[in-house]
Homo-oligomer: A and B are copies of this chain.
Amino acid sequence: MVIVMKKGSSREDLARVVRAVEELGFHPHVLPGIERTAVGITGNPGPLDPDAFERLPGVARAIPVSQPFKLASREMTPADTVVRVGSKAIGGGGLFVIAGPCAVETADQLLESARLMKNAGADALRGGAFKPRSSPYSFQGLGKEGLVLLAKAREATGLPIVTEAVDEASLELVDEFADVVQVGARNMQNYELLKRVGRLKKPVLLKRGMSATLEDLLLSAEYVLAQGNPDVILCERGIRTFSRHSRYTLDLSVLPAARGLSHLPIIVDPSHAVGRSDRVPSMARAAVAAGADGVMFEVHPAPDKALSDGRQALLPQQGADLIAQLRAIATIVARKVETVR
């Protein structure tokens, strides 16, 4: 923490700050400047609260120097975390592709999607059984029945299953059936849910909230990690901005930033961000070119019959073509990964 005094603050103000630091058991270092004085604090074992100092008279700002997350930080864990999912891995240099319908609807729809995606080279199957929908009048998912269908699709294709939990009850079921538990963007700061997935022995796919900063996202990951679950996969899915040409603004610059601050793998979901199938391929390619550890997108054998978000689903053949492009781009990117500073 560095405390910056106001220009024209008094000697008493400075003495008060010095005392406040000493009372906490830390060491104040007074740095007299031409325009104003600053006080550096050393000896503190972790982050301090700026408020405790900004409240004191004569103080202009208290600037935190440490990061508020620890387990999620690359400083504490320099090496990349690699999360095993089925026989593959997310993180560590490869490209992990998750594809499937937005929501599980019928056995046929799911199985057909799964088989086609398996043949196209996908690494996992997605499909929602519990759907958080903005309108109470929209289709809310098949629930347990959907999970059973997902398990059958896994049996038929060997693809591991990624699916979302939305509360305590659904989490118990999802834990029983899924290979990766997804926490959706709207629940990214549902801390009770995060604590619960932190106690599972299963990878967690944590989607960035639509107004979450990278720090918010890493603090939510910290909730999971702090409960003992090390397998957190971050996921960018678009943020809310003033832009109106896209449902959300896919923030790909978070990829190199996250890689700098954290050791956790990060993937991208372009489908929910752009909300239109014709724009999904360009954003999926961009994600891989920007260095994503994986991509998750939606396919549907008959998008116009989909019960949820059909407009953003690719046809299976489009999905297969896209996977081929993504793998080709991944090869180029892998040849020249710049050192992250």
Contact = CB atoms under 8 A, between A and B. Distances in A.
> How many copies of this protein are present in the complex?
4
B42 A31 contact: yes
B65 A7 contact: no
Interface string A15-47: 000000000000001011111101010111110
Interface string A121-141: 000000000001111110000
A338 B52 contact: no
Given A6-B75, A189-B132, A242-B240, A34 B29 contact: no
Given A29-B29, A278-B339, A282-B289, A249 B249 contact: yes
Contacts of A338: 278, 281-282, 318
A216 interface: yes
Contacts of A2: 2, 38, 40, 63, 65
A253 B245 contact: yes
A89 interface: no
A80 interface: no
A35 to B, nearest CB: 6
Interface residues of A, number: 116
Interface in A264-290: 273-274, 276, 278-279, 281-283, 285-290
Contact of A278 (B210, B250, B304, B340): B340
A310 B55 contact: yes
Contacts of A6: 75
Given A38-B40, A40-B40, A279-B253, A135 B31 contact: no
Contact of A166 (B192, B257, B258): B192
A11 interface: no
A207 B283 CA distance: 21
Given A166-B191, A325-B336, 15 more contacts: A7-B75, A31-B40, A32-B42, A34-B43, A34-B44, A52-B304, A55-B304, A167-B190, A213-B244, A242-B242, A243-B253, A246-B251, A285-B332, A328-B332, A329-B329
11 contacts: A31-B42, A35-B66, A63-B65, A166-B191, A213-B244, A240-B242, A245-B253, A253-B279, A253-B283, A286-B286, A332-B332
